[in-house]
Amino acid sequence: MPKIPENEQCTDIESGPPGGESRDLAWAELKKKLSPAMRADDSEFTGVSAEDVIRRNRQR
């Protein structure tokens, strides 16, 4: 699995000032990262089976 560059990692939702500000920031960052995939056509995705995932994870 590719590593996320440090400058692109989401803010830790448990740290920061009280009042949920860091949680709101983390949620905004997550939505920004996921929005292209959420709008993508199904043809943009590759189907994989559970066996494919297990095999890949065992090779790590």
Q: What is the DSSP annotation of 2-39?
A: PPPPGGGPPPPTTSSSTTTHHHHHHHHHHHHHHHHHHH
Q: Return the higher-pLDDT residue of 59 and 3.
A: 59
Is 9 strand, coil or helix?
Answer: coil
Is 7 strand, coil or helix?
Answer: helix
Instruction: Look at residue 30 in the predicted model and tell me its pLDDT.
Output: 93
Q: Which residues contact 30 (CB under 8 A, 6 or more apart)?
A: 10
Q: What is the pTM assigned to this prediction?
A: 0.40
30 within 8 A of 41, measured Cβ to Cβ? no
For 3-47, how does the pLDDT look when each residue is reduced to its tens digit (9 = 90+)? 555 555 555 545 545 557 888 899 999 999 999 988 999 998 889
